[in-house]
Amino acid sequence: MTVDRPDPEALLARVKEEEARRTRGRLKIFFGAAAGVGKTYAMLEAARIQRAAGVAVVAGVVETHTRAETEAFLAGLEVLPPRIVEYRGAPLREFDLDAALARRPAVILVDELAHTNAPGGRHAKRWQDVLELLDAGITVNTTLNVQHLESLNDVVAKITGVVVRETVPDSVFEQADEVELVDLPAEDLRQRLRDGKVYVPEQAAEAARHFFREGNLIALRELALRRTADRVDAQMQRYRRDHAIQTTWPVAERILVCVGPSPFSAQLVRAGRRLATRLGAEWMVAYIETPGGARLAEDARARVLETLRLAESLGAETVILSAPRM
């Protein structure tokens, strides 16, 4: 009889991983298809339950967008004062990372993970603030829409016609200890939009004609459901690994993405990342440099390097190969 024994190196790696987890804060993401599905509301509802159970919960930054039901749930929670930043002559209210670290609550609410911070802060992006909080041992509850995931950027643009500028690396999403899908059918969300529960009337009318078209919302909902399902599959793979359950597939898939100076190379990289995630496969992004390619214009070479950096940020192994011709 064959006894499956865990690999000693894998065991050591898991022990180190568990030690790191014990000192690190937990990350919970309230995840949805679009603005208005109720992510912030669900986050606040969970915070009130935790507070009632005696957990020290602080609202670091919560964007209510003047929604009465959301503001009502925020009442009674300790709210961290914002950091006021002057930008182009106007005061902006930003999350105060240093105040949060000094206050050091058990749980902090940091809404809108994809937000870009105003110039002058320690980090350019709010997700970077969140990583620092986690490293300090503070548990973070946050919110995220599916269109802000880096690997889905080009897919969302094709669906909606809108290029989302604020993105979050998939690696941050994958670090989450818990992802709660906040789901709402497309027609229910459009009704909330008509009722003024998502945007003010002027914005709502514009959104209904463009981003919030029913077809867009159905497609975004499917993306959110699939991404959540992919995460469940990853959890199962991790369980099998931790319990030394050998995979039932005899051959592991490997994916190779070849890129060049084309502006469409970034789309290929994101598609490769999605396929690799779905298959649980290793993936590599390669650029083949030929004698003709060595004479590329500066902007073309810059595009190649930017594409390779994107691939690395999404978890690919990257390589530049030389060949006499393609």
The structure's pTM equals 0.74
Give the number of residues written for the chain: 326
Angle between helices 153-160 and 214-242 (to 10 degrees): 160
The residue that leads in pLDDT, 202 or 159, is 159
State residue 198's pLDDT score: 87
Last residue of a domain, one of 236, 267, 294: 236
What are residue 295's phi and psi, to 5 degrees?
-100, 20
| Residue 106 sits in the same domain as residue 151 | yes
Lowest-pLDDT range, 91-105, 199-213, 216-230?
199-213
| Residue 217 sits in the same domain as residue 314 | no
The residue that leads in pLDDT, 291 or 34, is 34
| Residue 302 sits in the same domain as residue 182 | no
Q: Is residue 245 part of a domain?
A: no
Number of domains in the chain: 2
**pLDDT, tens digit, 9 for 90 and up, residues 168-186:** 999 999 999 999 999 999 9
Q: Is residue 244 part of a domain?
A: no
Q: Is residue 296 part of a domain?
A: yes
| Residue 277 sits in the same domain as residue 222 | no
Instruction: Give the pairing of strands 57-61 and 27-32.
Output: unpaired
Q: Is residue 50 part of a domain?
A: yes
**pLDDT, tens digit, 9 for 90 and up, residues 68-106:** 778 888 888 999 999 999 888 889 999 999 999 999 999
Query: Has residue 250 got a pLDDT over 60?
Result: no
**pLDDT, tens digit, 9 for 90 and up, residues 14-43:** 667 666 678 899 999 999 999 999 999 999
| Residue 16 sits in the same domain as residue 66 | yes
Of 149-153, 248-252, 280-284, 294-298, which has the strongest mean pLDDT?
149-153
What is the rounded CA–CA span in Å between residue 216 and residue 159?
6
CATH number of the domain that residue 294 is part of: 3.40.50.620
pLDDT class of 1 with cuts at 50, 70, 90 = very low
Last residue of a domain, one of 207, 236, 265: 236
Q: Is residue 137 part of a domain?
A: yes
Range of the domain at 18: 8-236
State residue 76's pLDDT score: 86
Q: Is residue 247 part of a domain?
A: no
CATH number of the domain that residue 75 is part of: 3.40.50.300
| Residue 117 sits in the same domain as residue 154 | yes
Query: Has residue 219 got a pLDDT over 60?
Result: yes
| Residue 223 sits in the same domain as residue 303 | no
Query: Has residue 123 got a pLDDT over 60?
Result: yes
State residue 251's pLDDT score: 47
Q: Is residue 163 part of a domain?
A: yes
What is the rounded CA–CA span in Å between residue 75 and residue 36?
20
| Residue 28 sits in the same domain as residue 176 | yes
| Residue 228 sits in the same domain as residue 290 | no
pLDDT class of 11 with cuts at 50, 70, 90 = low
| Residue 220 sits in the same domain as residue 109 | yes
> Phi/psi class of residue 29: alpha, beta or left (left: φ > 0; alpha: ψ in -120 to 50)?
beta
State residue 326's pLDDT score: 57
CB 189 within 8 A of CB 212: yes
| Residue 286 sits in the same domain as residue 163 | no
| Residue 231 sits in the same domain as residue 277 | no
Q: Is residue 242 part of a domain?
A: no
